[in-house]
Structure 1
Amino acid sequence: MPTPFSPTTRFAAASAPGGLPLLGHAAALLHRPHEFVAGLPAHGDLVRLRLGPLRAYVVCHPELVRRLLADDRTFRPGGPLPDRAREAFGDGLAAFPATAHRHRPPPPALHHGRLPDHAAPMAEGIADATARWRDGDVIDVPAAMCRLSTAVTARCLTAAHERAGSPPPGADRLTSPGNRLRRARQDLREFTRRLTADHRAAGTDRHDLPSTPLAAPDEDGRPPSGAEVHERLAAFLPAGPESTAATLSWAWTLLAANPAVRMRLHTELDTVLDGRPARLEDLPALPLTARIVSETLRLYPPPWILSRTATTDTELGGHPVPAGATLLYSPYLLHRRADLFPRPDRFDPDRWLTTARPAPGARTPFGLGAHRSAGDAFGTATAVLAIATIAAHWTIAPTPGRPVRPTRGPSLAPRPFTATLTRRVR
C-alpha cells in the first residue's frame, strides 16, 4: 500500500458543502453518517463541519490523524463522544487520557505476552456460548455473539477463582444473558470492588484480568487506587465484549456473502483442527482466519468515529485550529480510502498478504500510540478462536432478504439480525 504523503506534502483544508440553516451538517451526520463521513476526503484533508452551534474539524488524512493522536497535550481525548463514555464508566480505558497511560501503563494481561494465561478460559467461554446450538436453529446473531464474548471475558475474569473453587460474588450477574452492563453500573462497581479486594488479600498474581491493573504501578511505584482499578475494569468490560461481538457478527455476514473465502476457511480449519476446538497455540497455523478478522476490522471498525479537543490555539497540517475546537477522526473513513486500500469496499482478506504496511495512521481500529486500546490483542485472539471453532462445525447463514445494517452511533455494531445454523459435515 503506497504512502500517500511526503515531508513536503501540503494538506488542504476546506468546509464541507451542503450545510443546512441552523442544523449545518448535523442532519447528514444523523441520517447517513457513514456515507457522509466517508465522502469528506474528496473535499480536503482537514474538513470543517457545522453541527448546530458546534464547529468541528474532521481529520481525513492518515498523517494528520497520526499527528493528532501523537500530541496528547495539545489534542486531549474529549468532546461529545468520550465525555459520554466518561459519564457512564469514569476515566477508564475507553476514555483515559494519554498522560495517564504513560504514568500507569495499560494492563499487561491484555497484551500478547500474557494471552497464554487466558487460553483455557477463552476456549471454555466459546464452548459455553455454543453448547446449546442445534442444527436448524435460528439465532439473533449480534445477541449470540455478545453472549459469547461476554462469556469469554467473564471466564477470564473469574478463572483464578474457579480454579480455587470459589466463584466471586456477582459472577452470575456478569454472565447472565439478560444482563445489560450499561444499565447495571452499581452491580458492576460492586463486582469489581469485591474482585479487587479478593486479589489484594491474596497478595499474588493470579494471571487473570483483575490481577493486572493491580500490578501496574505508576512511575513513582505507587499501586493503583481501588477507583482506578474499577474504572479500568469497568471500561474494559462493556467495550471489550461489545467490540468483539460486533466484529464476529460482521464476519459471519461477510463470509456468507463470499462463499469462495468461506470454502478456503473450511479447508484451513479442517486441516489444522481436524474437528477439535481451536486453541491459542493454533493461531500461527490459522493465517487465513486471522486475515478474515483483520479485514472485518478494516471494513467495520467497532469505534468508527472518535473525537479530540484542542487545549490551546494551535495548527494541524499548517491550518489554524482554535482552543476548544472539536476534532473528529474516523477509522471507517480512513479504511475506505481507495488510495490507502485499493477497492476499499471489497471484502478481501488476501490484501493482508502483502508485505507493504499501511501508512502510519491509515489503519486505526484500536487507536494509535498511547491511546491504543489495551484490549486489542485479547479481543483479536478471541475473535480468531471463535471464528475457527464455530466455522469448523457450523455455517451461519443470515436470513435472506433482510440486509444487515449498522446501528447509528459511535460504535459500528450491526442492528439485530437473524441467521440459520447448519451443522457442517466434513
Structure 2
Amino acid sequence: MSNSGHVPPMAPGKLPLVGHAIPLIKDRLAFIQRLRTHGPVVRIAVGPKTLTVVNSPELMHKMLTSQADEFTKGLLFEKLKLFGKDALPVAEGKPHLRRRRLMQPAFHRQQIAGYVDTMRTAVEPYVASWDGGTPVDVKTEMQLMAQGVVMSALFSATPRRAPAATILNSVDTVFKTAIQRALLPISLLERLPTRRNRKADEASSALRTAVAEIIAEHRAHPDTYDDIVSLLLTAQDETGATLPDDEILSEIVALLAAGSETTAVVLSWLFHELGRNPEMERLLHEEVDSVLAEGPLTAERLPLLVHTRRLVSESLRMYSPAWLVTRQAVSDVRLGEFTLPAGSDVIWSAYALHREPELYPDPLRFDPDRWLPERPQPPKGAFVPFGSGKRMCIGDTFAWTETIIITALIASRWRLRPTPGAVRPVGAISTHPSSLQMVPELRHHTVVGKAR
C-alpha cells in the first residue's frame, strides 16, 4: 500500500497518562461534537489507547460503503458479544452475510406491513394503562412499549409487565456494561469478580433464560407460530444443517435488545419536544384524529401520517441514538488524505454529524419542517440514524413503522405535559434523556384507535 497519506492529527488537550479521558468522561457528547472542529479525521487518546475519529460525512460514507470490507465492527460490537458471539449485529465477514440473508425476509417491507395490526394491538394496552395526572418515567414506558412490539411481532410472545420489566432491566445492564468496556478497553478489568461484572453476567443469563423459554414454546408447538423464531428454527445453511439453539438464542436476544432501546429513546425525545412545542403537538393531534377517524390504524393509513413521520425524522436527527459507533482497520487503510495503520480503532458519531451546522442550519432547533419535500435535504451520507452500507441496521423499516405507530396511538389519547427540571442528553449505549418524567393528560374527545 502507498504511504503517501499521513497520520491524522492528535486533538488538542491531551494530558499525560490519561489523554482525553477527562472530557470524555465529564461530557462525552459535548466532547465528541467539539472534535468536529479539528478536521475531517482526528485522533484522541484514552489512557494508553489511541482512537481515530472520523468527522467528515464523505469519508464516513466511504468507510461504511465502498471501504466497508477494510474494517471490522470494532470495540463496541466486540463488547456487545455479551448478547451472544454470533448474532447478526456483531457477526463479521461471511457469517454476517449468511445470517443477514437468512433473516432479511422477516424484515422485508411487505412483511412489516403485515406486522402493523400486531404492533397496534401490542401497544394499545400500554397506552390505555396510564393514569391521567400521575407522572410516568417516559423512557421506561417507551421501552416497555417498544419491547412489547418486538416480542409480539417477531416472537409471538406477550409477557406481562413484571417479566417484561425484568427483561428490560437485563438489557439495560448489558448495554451499560458494553459501553463502559468499550470506553475503557482493559481485558483484565472485565475478568475480575467485581460487583459490576457479576451484575452483567447475571443480566445476560436472565435475558437468555427468558428467551430460551420462547424457543422452547415454539419447539413444542411448531405449527402454532409464523414469526422470526420459526424462521430461525427451520433455517438451514448451505450444508443443510439447522442453526444450533445457542445461535438462535443469541439472535433473538440481540434483536430484542436493539429493537427496544433505539425506538424508546427516539420516542422519549419526540414527546419531550412536543411538551415544549404546543403548535407541533396540535398539528400531530389534528393529523392523528383525522387519520383515525376513518378507523383503526392500518398499513394503508400509515403513509397519511406525514407530520408524524417528520417528527420522527427530526427526533432521529437531533437526538440520534448512535452517539458512538466503532470500527477497526483490518489492514493499512487510506481514508481520504490519511493513512490508518492496521488495527486502528475508529469511531464515528451520527449524533455529532446530525448537529453539524454546515449540514443542518440552526441544528439545535427542533424543526420537523426541515424534512418538508420542498426544503433542501442533507447530502448523501449526512443522515445516517441506522448506519449505511451492507451493515446498515436490518430493522430500520421495522423501527420507522413501530415508532410512527406508537407516536400516533399515544397522541390519539394523551397529551404528555412536562414536569419541572432540566432534561439533558446522556451518551450511554444510546443518547437517552438524563431523566424524563411527564404527566399524561387525557384528551377527552378521543379514545385509542378511533374518534368518539
- Same-fold call, TM cutoff 0.5: yes
- Assess if the C-alpha contact under 8 Å between 1:141 and 1:418 holds in 2: yes
| Aligned amino acid, residue 68 of structure 2 | D
**Per-residue deviation at 1:61?**
0.8
1:254 aligns with 2:273: yes
How has the CA–CA distance of structure 1 residues 282 and 42 changed in structure 2, closer, same or farther, with 3 Å as cutoff?
same
Distance 1:276 1:424 in 2: 18
CA distance in 2, matches of 1:82, 1:240: 16
Equivalent position of 1:5 in the other structure = none
Task: Give the alignment's TM-score, normalised by structure 1.
Answer: 0.87
Aligned with residue 304 of structure 1, among 320, 323, 332: 323
Residue 29 of structure 1 corresponds to 24
The CA deviation string for residues 26-55 of structure 1, in whole angstroms up to 9 with x for no partner, is: 111111111111122221100111111111
Q: Is the alpha carbon distance of 1:249 and 1:276 closer, same or farther for their aligned partners in structure 2, counting shifts above 3 Å?
A: farther
Deviation at 1:237, TM superposition (A): 0.8
Q: Distance in 1 between matches of 2:209 and 2:141?
A: 26
1: CA distance between counterparts of 2:239 and 2:162?
34
Conserved? CA contact 1:12–1:46, under 8 Å: no
Query: How far did 1:132 drift?
Result: 1.9
- The Cα shift of 1:103 comes to 2.3
Q: What SS is found at the alignment partner of 1:207?
A: coil
Query: CA offsets, 1:81-113, max 9 Å, x none?
Result: 212211343332332225433223252323322
1:362 aligns with 2:382: yes
Cα displacement string for residues 369-388 of structure 1 (whole angstroms, at most 9, x for unaligned residues): 22111222112211100110
Residue 53 of structure 1, aligned match among 48, 56, 74 = 48
Q: Distance in 2 between matches of 1:271 and 1:243?
A: 28
Deviations 1:210-243 (A, max 9, x none): 2333466556665433333222111111121111
TM-score normalised by length of structure 2: 0.82
Distance 2:244 2:236 in 1: 10
Cα distance in 1, alignment partners of residues 68 and 237 from structure 2: 18
**Structure 1 portions without partners, runs of 5+:** 1-9, 162-166
Aligned partner letter, 1:22: L
1:185 corresponds to 2:204: yes
Please tell me whether the aligned partners of residues 56 and 325 of structure 1 are also in contact (alpha carbons under 8 angstroms): yes
Tell me if the contact between 1:117 and 1:207 (Cα under 8 Å) persists in the aligned partners: no
How large is the Cα RMSD of the aligned pairs?
A: 2.6
Q: Structure 1 residue aligned with 2:164, among 166, 169, 176? A: 176
Q: How many residues align?
A: 406
Tell me if the contact between 1:275 and 1:393 (Cα under 8 Å) persists in the aligned partners: no
Distance 1:295 1:207, change over 3 A: farther
Q: Which residue of 1 aligns with 2:183?
A: none
Query: Is 1:69–1:369's contact at 8 Å kept on the other side of the alignment?
Result: yes
Deviations 1:252-282 (A, max 9, x none): 1111112221111111112111296533332
What is the percent sequence identity of the aligned residues?
34
- Which stretch of the first structure deviates more once superposed, 263-272 or 126-135? 126-135
Deviations 1:44-74 (A, max 9, x none): 1001111111111100011111121223332
Aligned-pair distance for 1:134? 2.4
CA contact (8 A) 2:416 2:441 kept: yes
CA shift in 2, pair 1:82/1:361, >3 Å: same
Does residue 378 (structure 1) correspond to residue 375 (structure 2)? The answer is: no
Q: Of the candidates 233, 255, 258, which is equivalent to residue 252 of structure 2?
A: 233
